[in-house]
């Protein structure tokens, strides 16, 4: 089932938390929602989950609109809120039973669904404990289990891996990836490797607006138009080296790295490589080239570029 957002705007007072956002998520896509704190990720997800209404625009899931058919939408969606609120005094099994019943699962199927969720989320050892006695990681699993118990077509997960240990993070990511094969998943996070590991598509949002949209490779390529290498050239005069480097045709900019002698960051012109030219320059001048490392533009840099201004 597709999710379509059209010119969605949500204001809190005068502040626009979400500002005219439109995007389209196709069935079976895992969409990573990325952005700094307060960018509007949670607000967008809350609107999708039917918790708050948008001021303008509409969000549609299949043929249902959050404005006109909130009840139908709630049946289609599994929602895991940001800090995973749960009834701490309830045992895991009772809570899952409650979640199942309230989502309208017929009585004879409830036990089967609970068993499946317990298995999928690895809760077997903890199922008789009260939720309040569980560690944060297990609570997160309970949160995921309650979100998926009615087998929703769409999963909305607000920071699903916070508070998990590295092993659990890997497991949950795998779980999300598996789910993404048959369901549409929107997850928000500010852990960048996470989106790269789990998401088919990344959406970066800042101050309520979408600033980037694409697969992780696409986004990386966008920011990687210019090759950047870090070189260390010894046996030469520093200023002389800089002047000579700048004379190379393909080089756009030379930047001496502060604190390190004879280390430079050399940026090439668009779509050109300067590595050979640098090597030849060193040979010609009899300088020793002791280091040459390509600097990969990371998603982090892109993220910073897009969201810091």
Partner 1 sequence: MNKIWIIAKRELGTFFDSLTAYIMLVAFLGFSGFFTWLYGSDIFLRNQADLQVFFNIAYWTLFFFIPAITMRTMAEENKSGTIELLLTKSVSDWQIVVGKFVACMVLILIALALTLPYYLTVWKLGPVDHGSVLTGYLGLILMSATYISIGIYTSTVTSNQIVAFLSALLIGIFFHIIFDVIASGSTGSIGAFFSYLSLSTHYDSISRGVIDSKDLIYFFSIIFLGLVLSETTLSKRNLAD
Please report whether residue 255 would count as binding partner 1 according to CB under 8 A: no
* Sign of CA pseudo-dihedral 206, 209, 211, 213: positive
Phi, psi at 8, each rounded to 5°:
-75, 130
User: Nearest distance from residue 261's CB to partner 1, in Å?
Assistant: 55
Please report whether residue 166 would count as binding partner 1 according to CB under 8 A: no
Tell me the H-state helices in the chain: 41-48, 70-76, 92-102, 107-120, 136-148, 166-180, 192-198, 216-223, 238-247, 275-285, 299-307
Residues 14, 37, 63, 71: which binds partner 1 (CB under 8 A)? 71
User: Nearest distance from residue 98's CB to partner 1, in Å?
Assistant: 5
Measured between alpha carbons, how far is 193 from 199 in angstroms, rounded to an integer?
10
β-pairing verdict for 30-34 and 56-61: unpaired
User: Nearest distance from residue 51's CB to partner 1, in Å?
Assistant: 6
Contact positions with partner 1 (CB under 8 A) in 107-146: 146
Residues 77, 148, 202, 245: which binds partner 1 (CB under 8 A)? 77
Taking residue 116's Cβ as centre, other Cβ atoms within 10 Å add up to 14
User: Nearest distance from residue 256's CB to partner 1, in Å?
Assistant: 52
Provide Rg for the chain, Cα atoms. 25
Residues 26, 75, 119, 128: which binds partner 1 (CB under 8 A)? 75
Residues 4, 90, 192, 197: which binds partner 1 (CB under 8 A)? 90
- What the block records as the tokens of 223 is 């920011």
Residues 32, 50, 137, 160: which binds partner 1 (CB under 8 A)? 50
Please report whether residue 40 would count as binding partner 1 according to CB under 8 A: no
Contact positions with partner 1 (CB under 8 A) in 2-31: 11
Please report whether residue 183 would count as binding partner 1 according to CB under 8 A: no
Residue at token pair 């280091």:
291
Taking residue 128's Cβ as centre, other Cβ atoms within 10 Å add up to 10
User: Which residues sit at the interface with partner 1, rule CB under 8 A?
Assistant: 11, 46, 49-56, 71, 74-75, 77, 79, 81, 83, 85-90, 94, 98-99, 101-104, 146
């Amino acid at each position: 089932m597709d999710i379509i957002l059209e010119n969605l705007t949500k204001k809190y007072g005068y502040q626009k938390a979400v500002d005219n956002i439109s995007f389209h998520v196709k069935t079976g896509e895992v969409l990573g929602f990325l952005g700094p704190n307060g960018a509007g990720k949670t607000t967008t997800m809350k609107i999708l989950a039917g918790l708050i209404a948008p001021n303008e625009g509409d969000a549609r899931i299949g043929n249902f609109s959050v404005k006109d058919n909130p009840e139908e939408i709630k049946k289609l969606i599994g929602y895991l809120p940001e800090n995973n609120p749960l009834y701490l005094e309830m045992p895991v099994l009772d809570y899952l039973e409650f979640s199942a019943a309230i989502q309208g699962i017929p009585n004879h199927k409830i036990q089967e669904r609970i068993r499946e969720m317990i298995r999928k989320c690895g809760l077997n050892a903890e199922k008789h404990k009260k939720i309040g006695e569980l560690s944060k990681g297990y609570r997160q699993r309970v949160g995921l289990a309650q979100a998926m118990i009615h087998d929703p077509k769409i999963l909305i997960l607000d920071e699903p891996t916070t508070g998990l240990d590295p092993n659990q993070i890997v497991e949950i990511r795998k779980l999300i990836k598996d789910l993404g094969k048959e369901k549409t998943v929107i997850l928000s996070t500010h852990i960048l490797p996470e989106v790269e590991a789990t998401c088919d598509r990344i959406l970066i949002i800042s101050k309520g607006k979408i600033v980037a949209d694409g697969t992780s490779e696409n986004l990386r390529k966008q920011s990687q138009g210019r090759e950047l290498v870090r070189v260390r050239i010894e046996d030469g005069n520093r200023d002389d080296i800089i002047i000579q480097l700048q004379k190379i045709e393909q080089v756009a900019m030379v930047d001496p790295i502060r604190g390190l002698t004879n280390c430079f960051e050399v940026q090439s012109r668009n779509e050109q490589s300067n590595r050979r030219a640098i090597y030849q320059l060193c040979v010609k001048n009899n300088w020793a080239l002791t280091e040459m490392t390509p600097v990969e533009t990371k998603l982090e840099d892109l993220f910073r570029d897009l969201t810091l201004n």
